[in-house]
Chain A
Amino acid sequence: MPKVWVARGLKKGVLTSRFPADRPTSAEIPESALPPSPTPGADWRAGRKECPTGAIRAEEERVDLGMCIYCRRCSSAGFSFGEGAGQESRALQAGAVADVARATRRAFRRSLHVMMIDVGSCNACNLEVLNLSNPYYDLTRLGITFTNSPKHADALIVVGALNRAMVDVLKRTYESMPEPKMVISVGACAISGGAFTGTEGFVSPVGEAVPVDVVVPGCPPTPIQVLEGLLLATGRMTKATRP
């Protein structure tokens, strides 16, 4: 039996991503993960009318990626995805905002224990975060491991639109983590409520319940984007050193 597995492994070859040493490939960051950006002829007001989440801020002429659910409806108003939308770095693209105190970053440079908590997601973000441990992404090669207990966790990945039934659970989980600690909001729902803003169960963005250090926009963000968020959070990658 064990021999069979080795043979299978060899036959399949190395699947693991070259990221962060190299740029992510287009299979890793497909077009559906690229955020909208205005073309020169973009009509901001038409875009705002099309946008179901209010991500298009016509007055400020900017797209709030934390609200965007990547639905592509604004393409009719002259917003483009992919070509020209900052192709130089296909990942994140000004998406993640890392705001972690330097001291925290230094502590987690070499190893990071991550716990995921779901506070009301559709399950897609959960699956993308879990996918980080499949052979294509292989999180442990970077010294990042998942843990089941908040008492062992350095970082908390929060997914989902914060539900009224989960607010206390989230707060208690956060409080039982040892210091130093950080929180990463993954997906539009966690960052802003996304598609579920205004539904009966939704309370507030995660950031209003616990302090959030890093956000990873997307609906859902791909595993590579989540990984990039983790690397930004630990200071192992900065906007300048992005491949």
Chain B
Amino acid sequence: MAYSNRVEVRRVEMLEDGVQLASVFKIGDHTYVMLSDTKANKTVLSELPPTLGEEFGPLLKGVDAPAGAHLDMDPGGRVEGYGVFEFPYGPVSFGVPEAGGFKLVTYGERVIKVVPQVNFKKRGVEQASIGRSPQDALILVERSAGNFSASYSTCFLTAVEESLGLEVPSKARWTRAAAVELERIYNHLHVFGRLAEAASQNVAAAQANALKEDVLRLNSKHFGHRYLFGLSVVGGVRRELSKAECKELSNASRVIAREFSELVSYFLSSRIFLDRLQGTAKLAAADALRLGAVGPAARGSGIQWDDRLTYPIEPYEDIYVNMETDSGEDAMARTMVRVNEVESSTVVLREILDRIPGDGARAGAEGHRSRVDLPDDFSFCRVESPSGDLVQVVRLDNEGRVSGLHIRPPSLVNWLPLAKSLQGNVFTDFQFAFESFGLSFADSDR
């Protein structure tokens, strides 16, 4: 499949219907926008039209924020008055086991406004990567978000390898994809466990967490690291799965899928759990699109976008992936998207493991698919991480060192949708809303 099917360069003057802003980035002297055309399933690139600057600004707040101070992701609107109470949550709290917080504005028990506070842990991966060789930059990139490291490294390396014109063995690409699917499975199990804990279903939470531990142990057994660090290198992977290993992993994934579906069926018969999720934190489809939601958060509002289908890198072009969506728009819908993705991810994983090519050579070089005809030279990649679309734009200098890196993390664009969805909910629903989005401050801050 040629890139031209998936990537389109055109001059965009306004946001059309069904088109979502994915990212804005500066390369050289120009500023570009990347859009997701959810109707045509295309990635659209354009130079930033001056007319759109204003409109795009607030959506991508935090993209260039400097380190050292936190940043309010204010969804706008002032709320003041008698009985309105504002209180801080974080950056140190147990509900959010990371450095990050929220400003909650409440009236009685209703939440009327939420301001996510990010950047407490901004390390500055992008700036620190400049001037490094891709292999050295990778060390930082895969530690941007430890629990999305396979997605991060696959995204970064795919773009780098394309810039360098490297022929990467198919086997390596398929191995990376297997890692990305395992990452999705354990992250979804993690989110499910957190939701169960929030509902005080401790036995169920323990079982979900035990399953997650099983996957982490599979990661370390077959890919050399519990969080999949160090698996990929520029031009390939460090470990090759043998046929026997593929079989073992494939069987193990079947067991995990079965145990999880048992767990879920008990869960869905628990009123306590369902009551907390159904109707909680509604995010209308139009808001999801307008505010830039990605991943299970967007698919739970019926938006059809999954990079594995809409921006398929090898091997996803050859593999059947079922897009899991739900039109419920609430925390339940987002949870069900994740639940169904655990199942479908194990199916994808098994297909990858079954068909992983044994060869070294890459099947039919398809040329530069993300390098398009624009004034500046760069390559990019989009990977569906467990929490949604991850975008990275890379530019290398003549010596092959990184001279520009732009990361648009999935969590960053999901904060405003989260804030929007919480408006009008009761305060005690906060935990369910937050966990159902499955966001990470490490990811958004990077």
Contacts and interface: CB of A to CB of B under 8 A. Distances in A.
Contacts of B122: 163, 165, 200-201
B264 interface: no
Given A163-B121, A163-B122, A195 B92 contact: no
Given A130-B97, A134-B210, A135-B206, A220 B124 contact: no
A200 B123 contact: yes
Contacts of B128: 196, 198-200
Most chain B CB atoms below 10 A, which of A32, A131, A166, A198: A32
Interface in A110-137: 116-128, 130-131, 133-136
Interface stretch (B34-42, B62-70, B289-297): B62-70
A131 B209 contact: yes
B174 interface: no
A34 B147 CA distance: 20
B98 interface: yes
A121 B98 contact: yes
Contacts of B216: 131
B94 interface: yes
A199 B227 contact: no
Interface size class of B (residues with CB under 8 A): 35 or more
Interface string A210-224: 000000000110100
A4 B120 contact: no
Contacts of B121: 118-121, 160, 163, 165-166, 201
A31 interface: yes
Which residue, of A116, A118, A125, A148, has the highest number of chain B Cβ atoms within 10 A?
A: A118
A104 interface: no
A44 interface: no
Nearest to B144: A122
Contacts of B120: 120, 163, 165-166, 169
Contact of A127 (B190, B238, B270): B190
Contacts of B404: none
Interface of B: 66-70, 91-94, 97-99, 119-125, 127-128, 136, 139-140, 143-147, 149, 190, 203-204, 206-207, 209-210, 212-213, 216-217, 220-221, 224-227, 229-230, 238, 262, 266, 269-270, 440-443
24 contacts: A4-B266, A5-B204, A12-B207, A30-B220, A30-B221, A31-B224, A32-B220, A32-B224, A71-B229, A72-B238, A118-B98, A119-B99, A120-B120, A121-B121, A123-B442, A124-B149, A134-B213, A135-B206, A136-B210, A165-B67, A165-B120, A195-B140, A199-B125, A220-B227
